Structure 1
Amino acid sequence: MAKKGNSRGKGNTSPTQAKSTSVSISADDVALLEKAKSIAKDGEIDRNELKSMLEDELVKEIEEKRQQQETELESQKASFEEQYKKELDKKHSGLKKETVDLEKTKNALESSINRLQSELDNASKKIEEGEAEKKCIIEKAKEEAQKIVDKAKEDAEDASKEVLDDIVQKKLELEDEKDGIETQQLELEAREVQLASKEKRIEKQAAIYDAANPDVVESLNRQLNVTREQLDAVRDEYEKVQIELNKIKLKQIKSEGISPEELQEENDRLLEKIEDLENKCKRYSDYELLEMKRALDAEKDYLTRIQNQDAEIAESKAELVRLKNGQMEYEQLRSQLDLLRTLNDHLRGELDNTKKMLESSVGEICPALTAIDIQQTEMSGEEYNRSVEREDLKVDLRSMNLPKLITHVKTYAAGRAKPLYYSDKDLRAYIAGMASSHLSILQGMSGTGKTSLPKIFAEAILGEINVVAVESSWRDRNELLGYYNDFSKKFTAKEFTCDLYRAGCDRYKDTIYIIVLDEMNLSRVEYYFADFLSVLEDKTSNWKIKLVDTDLRQLPTEITKEVKDALANEKSKELVELKSVVDELYSDMKLNEDEETKVSSNDKLRLIAYLSGKKFKNAANTRYLVGGPQNLIDGNTVKIPANLWFVGTANRDESTFEITDKVYDRAQVLEFNKRAKGNQVEEIEKIYLPYETLNRMFKKAEADFTFDAETYALLNEIEQILQANFKVSYGNRILDQMNTFVPVYVAAGQGSGLTDDQLIREAIDYQLTYKVLRKLEYIEMNRDANKDAGDKLRKKFEQNEMKLAKEFMDWKLRGEE
């Protein structure tokens, strides 16, 4: 009882005391007590009623909280949608602005194209008019030239006829005068004889006169004196006639310096010459007739017109060149316009699909490479069948060597339905080139088997090969490897990248894989292949090419219990933290997209790296958990495997670029300038030659046939001539390649009937011609010093039976381009 009283006494505590004790009671508890008091009957509480009341209150409270959360979620949703809409509107307006700018650019380009087309039409019209006027003037010139030639012929004939008539007339006159003079001379001589006879008779009469009558003597003396005077007169006249005859003869000599007979002969010769000139005139070209016209035309007006017309034609040609350049620019602008149109269409498509792409957080980042990963796990299909065939036809290393390999490839090529023929020398050079460099260049004329050689080699040994056609528009590595799209978050791998990736997969790691870059110099090699040229110089472990900066792997959409169990057993602090990340992302084994947005990118990458490194597979064990390519290093770098070779084919014409020394020095070069001939043989079976087997044969050749290019006497002698006269030398890279090329070439030539020394010189001949002497291609050999050095090199090559190098120097010394 005392106990009860004490209880009541406690219940009747003073207000001051009650106030002091209520400080520790919460407002919710006070409200609860008040409600309990309200339902209390006679100071006792009905528990069921209190429980019912509390449940109602709890339901009400939960409902209020639910409504409050829904309100908040609606508010957040509205805010998020508003923000998302603003972002979309902003991007839409940006894209719209870009589209407008592109339209403006397009209109400007079309306007420029129309203007250029108009100028081109006007210029073409002018050129056509100029050509027509030129043709008309040339026709007139031909007619006038023909008239001048005909007139010249007539004048020549008339002049010749007049000269001939004058000569004949003079000849007749001279003959008449000569006859008259000769007659007078005879008459004078007769008269002189008569006078002499008379003088004798007179002398006799004088003798008689001395003894006769003086008067008669005097008379006779007078007669004698008269006779003597007559004789003197006749003699004077004779002397005059003789002088006149001499003058006539001098005139005849001075007239032509020849006799009338000779003048006649000269006339006949002139007639023959005129006839010959007529025949030659018929054989003259239009240009020669124009030249004759210029020579015969006394007036220079027409010549001036021709010169002016030539100047106009030259200006027209210059204008034509300018217009052709303008046409080329027009074609370029049209290509750019087509590209802009394509880009515009692409942007429109991107604009239409932007919302869908941004909302999508699943799907493969790089479908092409992921598909290759899936193919490697398949146990059927073409790739799987080829791998089975390789195992069935795998060659025994003990029965295979390099000479047998060359024989097999040569026979396989000649036994095909469409046979191809290759010489032993070219096959030795090709295989030795594979040993010394993973980049080969096959150049020369079309149709000589450049592209077919690597194809035949790969077919004969059951290797893999793919031909990638190089395009003239390639300007950087992305044209070769592929592009990453920031909108779709996807990487589009090019055909080359797929082959590069496939060659490194487990199924192909021991298969010889060849990628052919067909017509590799349609674009500049150093533009799109620069990364590979640098990387291939390094050791094999560093042969890596970074595709993109972004990790192309993805978080799996679900994980397995195996992953959680593995993480539970991990003890490191980092992996314990990673376990908590997995718990957040995969609380029910499936990826929680809401939680994904809260996890940092670094944690995602750490998880991807862990799952990828452990090679976890999905529940069905059909593929790896991590999405995206599985064989990339760090998810973005592809490795160049040692079993992969690059072969470039090259033409040398106006449509291609010159291959630079940087490329030639790093590659092995083989030139095909004529198609080899042979006889078709029976078809033989393929064999499977693994990469490891080929590599062992290369190493065995280097061990069996050692060669040191730096100390080889012949190479040093040739280098001294090249260095002293042309400033050309061997680089370390070339010497290193020779140290591998020559032993493999010699090993491949065993049993060919050639000595090792002959094979060494053949191998050096290939290396010098295509890697060293080609640097002399644009050096003139016409100067005395260069010609002497060239002759010295040629003799050196001839003495050592280096056929390719000798042919090159013969070509250079002839001065041909």
Structure 2
Amino acid sequence: MAKKNGNKRNASPVATGAPAAPSRQAASLEKHGPIWAASFENASKVYQATGSNLDIDVDKELIGRVLDALQKTEDTASIARWIERFAEVCKELSKYQEKLNEEYIQRWEKASKLGEENNAEHKRLQLEAERVEADREALEQRVAGIDELEQELATKKNDLLSLERLLKQREANAEAGFAEENEKALRQLEEQQRQLIVQRESDLKDLQDQKTALGEEIKQAARKLAEIRHSCSDAEAQRIDALDAREHELSQEKAKLSRDRTRLDRDWSELKTEQAELENRIAEGMEAERKGFALELAKVSAQREKAWEKVQTLQERLHDLQELGTALGERSPAEILENLERLTAENRELKRQLESSDTAGLQQDNQYLRDKVSDLERDIAALRPELDEARRELSVKRVAATELEAIAREKRVLESHKNTLAVHIDDLETRIDQLTNAQKAKTAFPAMSIMDTDKAFQASIELEHVPDLKSFAEELQHRIARAEKNVELFYPIEDIRLLLGGLAMSQLHVFQGISGTGKTSLAKAFAKAMGGFCQDIAVQAGWRDRDDLLGHFNAFERRFYEKDCLQALYKAQAPRWQDSCNVILLDEMNLSRPEQYFAEFLSALEKNNPAERLISLSETELPGAPNMLRDGRQILVPNNVWFIGTANHDETTNELADKTYDRSHVMTLPKQDHSFRIKEYPPASYSFSSLQKAFDSACGEHTASVKDLLGKLTENDFTKQLETDFGLGWGNRFEKQALRFIPVMMSSGATRGEALDHLLASRIMRQGKVTGRFDVSADSVRKLMSSLEAFWSGTGLDSLPVTSLDLLEKDIKRKEGGF
């Protein structure tokens, strides 16, 4: 590598020992020395770029010796020019080398980017090959039973594997080609540019050809797959065509549902708009009416103030007249006017006589009068003490009379005020009674009246439809498990099926069992899982009639005190809840006797027409009754409400009567030790109408089978023995309930035998009917047990009536043990 002298531009290039005085050669050295040094430096840079070193020691001493040697030749000037041109060439080579390096770096980056793109394309092709491989494997599974296609599929697999190996080989060759080209580019810089351009065009063309070839191979694979599909059996082709037709039908039905949904949304939007306009009109009307009432009230108040002012003025005038009458005594106004006129006439006569009399007469008269005056003065002096005494006495009496008069006057004024106030009080009492009666008439049912206007009760929601009952029973089991917060409820699928069957059979349910078996939790969780509400009512031991359950009417206040049960019945009919599945929970229903406080409901639920299931709240129509009350006094028991009562059997409870048991669906819940892995479902609200539709569909599907079973049961010895030994028979109610309960149980996943076993155990074998009786021997029970087993095996039912047989066996043991 060339060594540079840090002061070569200022130092003299003459070798050691040269003459001190400058000469022509020294001037040439001074002129050409730096050019030579720069030339060798440029040449050294060019060699460094190629990875080689130029071992030339470029310093002043060496250049000086070279110049000393050149001074002896005649071509010093030509050598100097050659050195200058060599320096320029080396400089240009250095610049060209830098450009080549920059272009090489750019082309290297482009080549790297192209390599990454090739790698991405290769990965995409690998993914495509994997997809083709997955399609091939799917085809292998579909035609696994066809021996003729095994060889062809194996061939296709080998072809695809060969294609994959070919792609990997091409990738390896491409990478190797890039490495070779890069090595050549480092050795031959000028040749690299052309080779890179040619190589890039070649690689792009190869990649395009590979892409085209791979596309053709994929198309060939698709055609072969289509051929394989066409080579399937006719049955498979027919099934595929049927699936395609079904898919087309589903798409059409989906489009139809989408159009219906759009139409319903539009109708709903129009209804909301009309409702908003109606509410605005009602609000404006009420505001105008309120303002009119306010103006009328202001007018009445002004008239009342004027009347009071007039009354006060008249009272003051009356007081003045009374005082004047007191001052004038008992004389009438006519007498007072007559005396006044008489005195006026006498006064005029006296004045006239005075003017016509003479002076002498006047003097005599005057003297006479003087004498008279003297006499009178003497008389006055004599009478003055008596007068003073009389005045004092008069003063005392006058004060007493004045006080009496003032008291009498105050009495008269107070009596007048009393009469006036009495009139006003009567008027105010009348108005208060009118306002009170009007207010009572508006709020006879305050809670239910609020539901008629509250948007939370009037706004309807979109509900989901119940799927087929078997899958719905499984889904409901998991929804009930997650219905309550902070607790998981595990109920066997058999209990869920019994619950669904009971819902179809009756609106009254009895959940019985020992405390802590989840009776209350099942009722609440079911309502929450279905998206309805559950009204919890704690039955009290002192309940005697329906007022304890519904409330009572206060005739004095003209108001009905609505209890929770009445509000829940009305709430279930509001638009928000009218298609939901709702529950009224009678917790500890046998603390009192349901046959007393629930008697009207037992009768109403027995009616075949749901529109006639009415409970009367009063004898006459009540003013201001809510909109959904019938005739202003009757509440409907809606279909979408189930009454679920929990019953414990201990010393604090009453035994339910037969009329309650016969009208209800009874479930006995044992202690829950069952668990399973809970599946997560999003919250949902199911439609009551869709649930009833699912029940009706199940009944339509299995009614014939159930009727056949009931017919065989009626003709069997089991039924005859019930009639002869136990005095029991089948009624219309039992048959009606069985035709609803058993089909729903079968559609939910249970068998006919399981459903019939539950009905017999809860309706026939229960305590007091067949079991628990003292007038029946153990042999009769044992004979009935044998008849039941024979009926089960003779009818071909799938399993034994385990629950019924267990009850009969326990009763036999009880009788044999003497209990």
Bin the TM-score by the shorter chain. Answer: 0.3 to 0.5
Q: Please give the TM-score of this superposition, normalised by the length of structure 2.
A: 0.44
Q: TM-score, normalised by structure 1?
A: 0.44
